[in-house]
Chains A and B, each alone.
Chain A
Amino acid sequence: MLRIFHNTRYDFIKWWKVAAIATAAFIAIGLASFAWTGGLNKSIEFTGGTQVQLAFRQAPDAGAIRDALQKGGLPGAEVQRFGAATDFVVRAQDEAAVAQQGAGGSAVADKVRQALDGAFGRDAYTVTGTAAVSARVGDELTRNAIIAMALGSLAILAYLAFRFEWRFGVAAVVATFHDILVTMAFIKLMHLEVSLTVVAAILTLLGYSMNDTIIIFDRVRENLKGAAGRTSLRDVLNKSINDTLPRSIMTHATTLAASLALLLFAGEVIRPFAWVMVFGIFVATFSSIYVAGPILLWIELKFPRTAAAAPRTAPAGTPARAAR
């Protein structure tokens, strides 16, 4: 029997302070970056605007495309390489461009084509895809994405409160909020474009992280029954994390393998999704141990379950005490 991390007794909770500082620092850097360079890089699905995907016959100079678009009356358009050297994507999502779309969805896309026809010739490229979204549709999608995240979290909170105790639900949801913050910081720092697909990835990540938390809590629930007040919650938590460690490592390994395959081989369109998932696997591991765990301990200290089950004196080094 090949075994890794079998019967370990790591004191995971001991490092909670270091972990808290690390994650707080990461979020702070992310927030600072928000303040410094503005909000997230949102896709046209949310801002409204036009996106044109182009495949050139010969690799052109991105600057030449930019010049052509500027002359064609689209000074706000962004030009970006998209995978191969011949593939480019043009995004016109500044206010002027969105306003131009009031007349008709294809107005800006036609302009892009005209500008490129003039600069490169009609046969030098093909349009492989276009997307144009009006500002109104964009607003609606933004609202729906936020509702989806809020409702998703609520539904899971309700389910955990029903299946476990309310305290587990709260700890899991706090961990979820942490995940959202950290992921936003990651997306910001990586300059990923937030599209609908990335929102889907964030929701998957939240679900995945929740899975991890649930599996550890499931162990805690079971170990608490066995312990019956003899050991502190902190020890039970540590034991549960160690008990589930082989499972965590194996599942993260297979999921990471699948995500890396997506990241490296599935092409440019799905890459932001894959990045969020790869990052999510680490976030899930981290938050289920170092966010959900300490929060559960803190709730336990503030609201002991029952007089009998609660530890009479909080053991040295309990997070809540150290925090005081």
Chain B
Amino acid sequence: MNSLRSRLLLIGAALAASVFALFPRSAVERVKRGDDFVLDTVRRVPLKYGLDLSGGMHLALEIDESKGAVADKKEALDRALKTVRNRIDQFGVAEPVVQRVGDDRIIVELPGIDDQQRAQDVVQQSAFLQFQITDESNALDRALPRLDAAIRARRLDVASAAGPGATAQPAAKAASPLGNLLTADTTRKADSAAAKGDSGKAAVAATDSAPKADANGPFTKLVQKGQIPGQYLVKETDVPTLQRWLGDTALTALLPPGKVVRFGADTLSAGPGQVYRYLYVLDARPIITGEYLTDARPNNNPLEGGYVVEFELNAEGGRRFRSETGKHIRDNMAVVLDDRVITAPTINSAIGRNGQITLGGGGLQQAQDLALVLKAGALPVPLKVAEIRSIGASLGQDSIGKGIVAFVIAIGLVVAIMVGYYRFSGMLAVASLTLYLVFTLACLAAFGATLTLPGLAGLVLGVGIAVDANVLIFERIREELDQARSVRLAIDEGFKHAMSAIVDTSVATILSGAVLYQYGTGPVRGFAVTLVVGVACSLFTAIFVTRTLYLLWLDRTGGTKPLSI
């Protein structure tokens, strides 16, 4: 009797603890309201959904060594991790995961993110900010003949003829509409885009030993002069070709010394099918870099509409910036982020600690993201994405819905089989099965385990397997009853004999679950956790709870009634 009471007390306590663990509670978390993330208090069941159920994105980042080896990878990765974490914290995601795995990989998990590209940009962007003065000396024009010659000599243009070669003719023609479009603001420049071929180059060719640069030179014909010094226009379809050439070391050597060539970040459209991108020739030495930056925030552009990002430099940066910009008044300063020119405004007066970057296009979100990455700091090494998994929130919802349907049907079938076959004892098994589910979910919540789709499948499967222990016990009790034992003795002996099989099978399952956990990732880990927790709970409910229910029944009936099993 006493033992029965303490058994019931223990089960009651476990149940209370489980209900407490599963009780919807308030949590302060970031939730999406409209377009913004705000901190808010929500009430929810404290079960963590994996990315495959909640929707979201999983990224594995590795150091990108394609542009040069990194000496101390581990140290570089640690610094990169800090930067990525800073950015993610400001990005606004509920319960993000940013962690290092092994020596060479960063894992980022962003639940509930639907804008994949944006999230990837925020994480991956190097955010290396430079301010560089655009070239005033027409250095590229002088280099064009030798570039053309080198390309012809190495027949690089022939190789590309199969692809973008078809654009060669139209590109030359396209010069006129674009020329018209641009001449309005470029009149102060001697060379308009259309006149470039003849006037600009003839003089240059005379001083250069290279063959005369004609407008049909493979490099020359792809670039047209823009509005400001050092700025050129390239058809968007030709950008890959140029990028390939500019990446060629033999050709890079022919570029003007002390200068760098960078593409613009945005494209501009001059009518249907006429998309252009700016190409800039810049002084290689930046007047200042983003390392002096202390703050950045988005703001409205009061003059032209759109958005700007205002930034603030530290004292030393401010000093340098003032003296450098003071030397370059009336020149154009390119704002270069990750080797792409965002904008190239004219310097009207010396700039001190506070400056701003005007964004060409893009909305508030782009301004916010730029401010965010600038503030969080540049990545010390370039990162590349080794693995992406993104699951739309709707797919996750769908999976949960279907999982629940399967779950309910599985339970219904198992209950029907058990009650149909074992009658009263079957009902006891169903009662302990119910407790099994509550305990399993509570353990998952308490351990902060993540419920994934395979985990949900493990739970459904677990319902089928969890009754195994009960079946083993019931069959043993039946055997004992066949030997004409009393009901009380048959129950005792049944449990005793079934015990070894139950323990051995449970341990074997837990062993394989532990191995799965150790070597699995993401969703499979979720499965392993549900499996192990499920087996442990089914051990407890089958051996302890079902036994207690029998004892309770014996206590009520005094062991005189025949057992329905």
Residues on A close to B: CB < 8 A? 1-4, 53, 55, 102-106, 109, 126-134, 136-137, 141, 144-145, 147-148, 151-152, 155-156, 159-160, 163, 196-197, 199-200, 203-204, 206-208, 210-211, 214-215, 218-219, 222, 243-244, 246-247, 250-251, 253-262, 264-267, 269-270, 273-274, 277
Contact (Cβ within 8 A) B471 A266: no
Beyond A130-B390, A265-B406, list 17 extra A-B contacts (CB 8 Å).
A104-B385, A129-B390, A131-B387, A133-B387, A137-B387, A145-B519, A152-B516, A215-B505, A246-B478, A254-B414, A255-B465, A257-B413, A258-B461, A261-B407, A266-B403, A266-B405, A270-B399
B463 at interface by CB-CB < 8 Å:
yes
B357 at interface by CB-CB < 8 Å:
no
- In the complex, what residues of A have CB within 8 A of residue B124's CB? 104
Nearest neighbor of A251 in chain B, beta-carbon distance: B468
- In the complex, what residues of A have CB within 8 A of residue B515's CB? 148, 151-152, 155, 203
What are 19 A-B interface contacts by the 8 Å CB criterion? A2-B421, A55-B394, A132-B385, A133-B387, A137-B386, A137-B387, A144-B521, A151-B515, A159-B508, A160-B508, A196-B520, A197-B457, A204-B531, A250-B475, A258-B410, A262-B410, A262-B460, A270-B403, A270-B457
B524 at interface by CB-CB < 8 Å:
yes
Contact (Cβ within 8 A) A53 B395: yes
What separation, in Å, do the CA atoms of A273 and B395 have in the docked complex?
18
What separation, in Å, do the CA atoms of A159 and B456 have in the docked complex?
28
Nearest neighbor of B117 in chain A, beta-carbon distance: A106
What separation, in Å, do the CA atoms of A294 and B66 have in the docked complex?
58
Nearest neighbor of A53 in chain B, beta-carbon distance: B395
CB neighbors of A among B429-484 (8 A): 453-454, 456-458, 460-461, 463-465, 467-468, 471-472, 475, 478-479
A2-B421, A106-B385, A134-B386 in contact; A255/B461 too (CB < 8 A)?
A: yes
What separation, in Å, do the CA atoms of A144 and B516 have in the docked complex?
9
Chain B residues with a Cβ closer than 8 Å to the other chain, count: 78
What separation, in Å, do the CA atoms of A107 and B208 have in the docked complex?
42
Nearest neighbor of A263 in chain B, beta-carbon distance: B406
What separation, in Å, do the CA atoms of A274 and B456 have in the docked complex?
12
Nearest neighbor of B481 in chain A, beta-carbon distance: A1
Nearest neighbor of B452 in chain A, beta-carbon distance: A197
The contact string, 1 if C-beta is below 8 Å from chain A, for chain B 385-426, is 111111110110011001101110110011001101101000
Contact (Cβ within 8 A) A258 B523: no
Contact (Cβ within 8 A) A105 B387: yes
- In the complex, what residues of A have CB within 8 A of residue B478's CB? 1, 3, 246
- In the complex, what residues of A have CB within 8 A of residue B468's CB? 211, 247, 251, 254-255
- In the complex, what residues of A have CB within 8 A of residue B465's CB? 208, 211, 251, 254-255, 258
- In the complex, what residues of A have CB within 8 A of residue B52's CB? 269
- In the complex, what residues of A have CB within 8 A of residue B520's CB? 144, 148, 196, 200
B507 at interface by CB-CB < 8 Å:
yes
Nearest neighbor of A277 in chain B, beta-carbon distance: B461
What separation, in Å, do the CA atoms of A128 and B514 have in the docked complex?
32
- In the complex, what residues of B have CB within 8 A of residue A253's CB? 417
Contact (Cβ within 8 A) A270 B464: no
- In the complex, what residues of B have CB within 8 A of residue A200's CB? 454, 516, 520, 524, 527-528
Tell me whether chain A's interface is mostly helix, strand or loop, or mixed.
Answer: helix
A257-B417, A266-B402 in contact; A152/B464 too (CB < 8 A)?
A: no
Contact (Cβ within 8 A) B385 A105: yes
Contact (Cβ within 8 A) B504 A214: yes
What separation, in Å, do the CA atoms of A199 and B518 have in the docked complex?
14
A159-B508, A247-B475, A266-B403 in contact; A130/B523 too (CB < 8 A)?
A: no
Interface centre among A144, A258, A259, A260 (most CB of B within 10 A): A258
Contact (Cβ within 8 A) A218 B500: yes
| Least CB distance, A283 to chain B, in whole angstroms | 15
A156-B511, A251-B468, A266-B403 in contact; A259/B504 too (CB < 8 A)?
A: no
A130-B389, A134-B386, A257-B413 in contact; A215/B512 too (CB < 8 A)?
A: no
Contact (Cβ within 8 A) A105 B384: yes
Contact (Cβ within 8 A) B521 A196: yes
- In the complex, what residues of B have CB within 8 A of residue A196's CB? 520-524
A207-B509, A254-B464 in contact; A128/B117 too (CB < 8 A)?
A: no
What separation, in Å, do the CA atoms of A274 and B406 have in the docked complex?
11
A196-B523, A247-B471 in contact; A128/B414 too (CB < 8 A)?
A: no
Interface centre among B384, B387, B505, B507 (most CB of A within 10 A): B387
What separation, in Å, do the CA atoms of A207 and B531 have in the docked complex?
11
B116 at interface by CB-CB < 8 Å:
yes
Partner of B391, one of A128, A152, A210, A261: A128
Interface centre among B460, B464, B509 (most CB of A within 10 A): B464
A247-B475, A250-B471 in contact; A203/B403 too (CB < 8 A)?
A: no
- In the complex, what residues of A have CB within 8 A of residue B456's CB? 266
A159-B507, A203-B512 in contact; A131/B460 too (CB < 8 A)?
A: no
- In the complex, what residues of A have CB within 8 A of residue B528's CB? 200
A106-B388, A155-B512 in contact; A265/B472 too (CB < 8 A)?
A: no
Partner of B508, one of A207, A243, A265: A207
Contact (Cβ within 8 A) A103 B384: yes
What separation, in Å, do the CA atoms of A4 and B478 have in the docked complex?
12
CB neighbors of A among B3-45 (8 A): none
Contact (Cβ within 8 A) A273 B117: no
What separation, in Å, do the CA atoms of A296 and B60 have in the docked complex?
47
- In the complex, what residues of A have CB within 8 A of residue B70's CB? none
Contact (Cβ within 8 A) A211 B511: no
B501 at interface by CB-CB < 8 Å:
yes
Nearest neighbor of B565 in chain A, beta-carbon distance: A1
| Least CB distance, B552 to chain A, in whole angstroms | 21
What separation, in Å, do the CA atoms of A53 and B116 have in the docked complex?
14
What separation, in Å, do the CA atoms of A53 and B120 have in the docked complex?
18
Interface centre among A160, A215, A243 (most CB of B within 10 A): A215
Nearest neighbor of A155 in chain B, beta-carbon distance: B511
Nearest neighbor of B535 in chain A, beta-carbon distance: A207
Partner of A267, one of B60, B398, B518, B522: B398
A105-B384, A200-B454, A218-B504 in contact; A246/B391 too (CB < 8 A)?
A: no
What separation, in Å, do the CA atoms of A125 and B513 have in the docked complex?
39
- In the complex, what residues of A have CB within 8 A of residue B508's CB? 156, 159-160, 207, 210-211, 214
- In the complex, what residues of B have CB within 8 A of residue A132's CB? 385, 387-389
Interface centre among A126, A128, A159 (most CB of B within 10 A): A128
Partner of B504, one of A129, A163, A203: A163
- In the complex, what residues of A have CB within 8 A of residue B117's CB? 106
What separation, in Å, do the CA atoms of A259 and B414 have in the docked complex?
11
Contact (Cβ within 8 A) B519 A261: no
The contact string, 1 if C-beta is below 8 Å from chain A, for chain B 39-61, is 00000000000001000000110
What separation, in Å, do the CA atoms of A105 and B120 have in the docked complex?
10
What separation, in Å, do the CA atoms of A265 and B386 have in the docked complex?
34
Interface centre among B388, B391, B402, B403 (most CB of A within 10 A): B388
What separation, in Å, do the CA atoms of A311 and B523 have in the docked complex?
51
Question: Which 10 pairs from chain A and chain B are nearest by CB?
Answer: A105-B385, A258-B464, A255-B464, A257-B413, A266-B406, A267-B402, A261-B410, A148-B519, A128-B392, A265-B406
